[in-house]
Structure 1
């Protein structure tokens, strides 16, 4: 299917509601910071950033007037300290803001900040973006329901996100996947199946290959690959269910082909069940946090009525649960999707317990 027909051309940014703001405050996400997204837009000029092969990265390196540079540097060091340390200025003397990059590609138009420790030249990145309610829901859902924790801050109209380390999916597929062993390809295929299932369950859309990273983890005798989402702009917005399944994007065709070549259908089904069970366990163990977030989302406006209606019908076709067709918000659809996974897991677990008890009784007879 053509990409233009699968995705909407432009997704609007949605404001943070009072209830979502209170939720962020409760869980220490809403913290006052000394600089706003708009402040970083006051750059005096920019130069294009090229990669090692001389290709345009779609980022530009911006620079500021001498009058503003010192204040911006100090403010960005303060943001780093709040995000990664105790928020004090004690570490400022050891930090240098090496670069401020700006990307005009996509919806979020982020700034990427490179911070270097001058004592040992270690560095890391963080991002400054415009606040968008659906993106915040995406970040928080990833924190709760994925195997990974996320660190981010929100203050008024500014969102600060930590950098998620890894090899961009499109780069890995093009440059590194051909050199992987057959065993590594099979393991990657398994991870893609699980990643695909996790995105669909929690309604995270637009996972084209450049919106996730491949993370190699070295075990004692081999390398294990994990897949992590890095862009949460399309949380619960689009109306087509395919948008929430990475397998349907042409950029992921190589990964889909690898799944078909390396995994038997029974194995694919097994890995889907494993991922659903893992998500269900995280829903149960997260307690009130996920309930609070989803209840707020149920009342929030983060999509268009036609998208909600279409997605409800398509999920109904998949689950045959009439409740999906009656939803009026994306949050209601999200609640039902998570509840559907949790209930199925609990029903199976209860059946196994009962079967075990009945088996014991039969054995005693």
Structure 2
């Protein structure tokens, strides 16, 4: 299945007026005029290599002095919006150390490194072409996942914070075998829950390099969390398996770990726990989700062919006629949330 996703590039869908108004209502709109296309005006570049001298497929870009001054100032202002609510006083203490351009993948983002010269601490954020389906994915991540995510939109440009963690493929190749047996059991449990979250909120393409493992030190143990870092495939594909990380061959080490460490009844228990938690999150953010789904129902973020395939596969999986009757990806999302919350009283999100 992984290879099939690589045969084509997913189209980018524009932000309609209703979604733009929603983003402004929830303070997701940037006050800084920074366009993705501005960063494409670089005059030179060099390859970026990792600590093992392996080509990362990112290039470090350079600009003319005239362009650089304007770009640097706007990037510092964006940092201030993301991290200090637009406080302009900190700009004098910031330095843009690097701007890297991704030469592969769907969104071809720019990665910006900004350093505080007072303490040498730095953060990364990304500049991308805004895509409506990705923005829906980011919003659902904010509302339904255990983690918060910070992003801003300026017209057709998306500014997205860097999510800290160890890429899943790197973790499985270099660190997983060194985990204790207890840690492996905990990671297996987390992957079951992560798989369930992705399936319910229809976030696709969670191959190993599209999520990160986050180790958290807690007293005398390390607890591992799993976070998605790529939201391009929110409600786009027609194949239901794309929304279930368990079916990607890149995640085979995780699936083997689950088979080794978890009994079948434990797997069902963790799935039920995650569904219950998500139902509570849907209930607690009822008004916000209702507004987002209303916009999404009248938006186009996939092809008619994908829509028809997905709704019928979900209908066969659940026997819920609401999926079969869905006329848009927003309708499918609404049906999915209704399916999860059906056993919870006083939850009339849809």
Aligned pairs for 1:5-84 (under 5 A) are 5=4, 9-84=8-83
Which deviates further from its counterpart, 285-294 or 137-146?
285-294
Gaps of 5+ in 1: 348-365
Task: Give the match for residue 111 of structure 2.
Answer: 112
Task: Give the match for residue 355 of structure 1.
Answer: none
The separation in 2 between residues aligned to 1:11 and 1:96, in whole angstroms, is 35
Q: Secondary structure at the match of 1:87?
A: coil
The separation in 2 between residues aligned to 1:224 and 1:200, in whole angstroms, is 23
Taking structure 1 as the reference length, the TM-score comes to 0.93
Task: Give the match for residue 229 of structure 2.
Answer: 230
Given that residues 45 and 63 in structure 1 are in contact (C-alpha distance below 8 angstroms), is that contact kept between their aligned partners in structure 2? yes
Q: How many residues align?
A: 346
Task: Give the match for residue 358 of structure 1.
Answer: none
Given that residues 34 and 154 in structure 2 are in contact (C-alpha distance below 8 angstroms), is that contact kept between their aligned partners in structure 1? no
Q: Secondary structure at the match of 1:10?
A: coil
Give how far 1:58 is off.
1.5
Give me the CA root mean square deviation. 1.2
Which deviates further from its counterpart, 24-33 or 276-285?
24-33
Give how far 1:8 is off.
5.9
Task: Give the match for residue 356 of structure 1.
Answer: none
Deviations, residues 302-339 of structure 1 (Å, cap 9, x unaligned): 00011011111111111101221121211110110011
Aligned pairs for 1:195-210 (under 5 A) are 195-210=194-209
Give how far 1:83 is off.
1.2
Q: Does 1:152 align with 2:136?
A: no
Over alpha carbons, which structure has the higher Rg?
Answer: 1
Given that residues 188 and 225 in structure 1 are in contact (C-alpha distance below 8 angstroms), is that contact kept between their aligned partners in structure 2? yes
Given that residues 30 and 152 in structure 2 are in contact (C-alpha distance below 8 angstroms), is that contact kept between their aligned partners in structure 1? yes
Given that residues 305 and 328 in structure 1 are in contact (C-alpha distance below 8 angstroms), is that contact kept between their aligned partners in structure 2? no
Task: Give the match for residue 216 of structure 1.
Answer: 215
Task: Give the match for residue 283 of structure 2.
Answer: 284
Gaps of 5+ in 2: none
Q: Secondary structure at the match of 1:11?
A: coil
The separation in 2 between residues aligned to 1:346 and 1:103, in whole angstroms, is 47
Task: Give the match for residue 310 of structure 1.
Answer: 309
Taking structure 2 as the reference length, the TM-score comes to 0.97
Q: Structure 1 residues 232, 181: CA separation in 2 closer, same or farther (over 3 Å shift)?
A: same
The separation in 2 between residues aligned to 1:31 and 1:341, in whole angstroms, is 34
Q: Secondary structure at the match of 2:186?
A: helix
Aligned pairs for 1:335-350 (under 5 A) are 335-346=334-345
The separation in 1 between residues aligned to 2:12 and 2:69, in whole angstroms, is 31
Task: Give the match for residue 256 of structure 2.
Answer: 257
The separation in 2 between residues aligned to 1:218 and 1:265, in whole angstroms, is 28
Q: Please identify runs of 4+ aligned residues in structure 1 that moved more than 4 A.
A: none
The separation in 2 between residues aligned to 1:8 and 1:225, in whole angstroms, is 33
Aligned pairs for 1:173-212 (under 5 A) are 173-212=172-211
